[in-house]
Amino acid sequence: MAAFVASVDGESAPLTVHFDGSGSYGRTNVIVGFVWAFGDGHSASGRQVTHTYAEPGRYTVELTVTDRRGRSARVSSGMDVRVRQLPTVGCLCFAEPFHANAVGNDNANLNDEYVTVHNEGPWDVDLTAWTLGDEGGHVYRFPAGFVLRAEAYVSIHTGTGTDTAHVLYWGWHEEIWNNESDIAILWDASGRIVSLYAYMDAQE
Q: Would you tell me which residues interact with Ca ion (CB under 5 A)?
A: 100-102, 106, 113, 175, 177, 179
The least CB distance from residue 42 to Ca ion, in Å, is 51
Nearer CB in complex with Ca ion: 15/102: 102
Nearer CB in complex with Ca ion: 67/106: 106
Nearer CB in complex with Ca ion: 1/139: 139
Extract the runs of DSSP E, i.e. beta strands, from the chain. 5-9, 15-20, 31-37, 43-45, 48-53, 57-67, 72-83, 92-99, 114-119, 125-126, 131-133, 139-141, 147-148, 153-157, 167-169, 181-187, 193-200
The least CB distance from residue 203 to Ca ion, in Å, is 9
The least CB distance from residue 158 to Ca ion, in Å, is 8
The least CB distance from residue 106 to Ca ion, in Å, is 4
List of residues 6+ apart from 164 with CB closer than 8 A: none
Q: How far apart, in whole angstroms, are the C-alpha atoms of residue 180 and residue 132?
A: 19
